[in-house]
Amino acid sequence: MRAPPQPPSNGPARPVSARPAAPGSAPIRHFRIASYNIRKAVGLDWRRDAGRTLDVINELNADVVVLQEADKRFGPRPSALPRALIESATDFTVADLAPNDVSLGWHGNAVLVRRGLRIRGAERLTLPGLEPRGAVLVRVDNGVETMNLVGVHLALLRPWRLRQLDAIGTRFCADESARAVILGDFNEWSETRGFEPLANRFRVVAPGKTFHASRPSAGLDRIVHGKGLALAGAGVHESAKARVSSDHLPIWGELEFAAA
């Protein structure tokens, strides 16, 4: 089912690995991140195919992948991606975010971290809203730097999205927000509005059109990063499998830490 991970077909190969530097080598100051709304592993052909979804995740060649709709919607919210399959078919470990033994994440938000990186902490964040929504916070250490990473799937209505972004932004002090990145499905159709609560401390990047995967017309998936990080590159992953495995296309970004 799975071939060895390859660089994404529509983006550059990773310039620097995010694994710890070997003794005597230059410090590694990069993370490759990605976000993917997997629609509970149901493709545009209406088949639930966890293996196909994991193939797309492997194509992203990322150090950290944030997922939305990783768990089914009802009951105990069982994962759409079996943990055993993640273990056997990828080089990722699952951040400990689930409130039970069957889910992968929190309100469908899950985080996969490349083996060899260290997870310093993982938290579930409750967000205000008329509909049940949450975010997840994972601190990832590559042996040189630690990044605060927040995965989101925000509300359908902008007034509630603004409240949710305000809640996430105030979670960090100034020093923490400098090295924080918020990414996921923001459900924001506007290219100029909707991120005002984060304007003073974060930069918003829209890598491209991600929805609907069959004919992308909206950039609902974004990367928002603190001012202690620089985005060296970003894009939308548009492989053949990505175009059919979900109604969203995944995004990726190369984050570089500013010198201390």
What are the extents of the domains in the chain?
30-257
- 215 CB neighbour count, 10 Å cutoff: 7
Beta-bridge partners for 65: 34, 112
Amino acid 12: pLDDT: 33
One-letter identity of residue 259: A
Distances (CA, A) of 65 to 118, 121, 173: 14, 16, 24
| Fold (topology level) of 30-257 | Deoxyribonuclease I; Chain A (3.60.10)
The Cα 219–Cα 76 span in angstroms is 31
Report the pLDDT value the prediction gives residue 143, as an integer from 0 to 100.
87
Q: What is the pLDDT of residue 259?
A: 65
- What's the pTM value of the predicted model, to 2 decimals? 0.89
CA dist 17 and 28 (Å) reads 7
Q: What residues of the chain score a pLDDT lower than 50?
A: 1-27
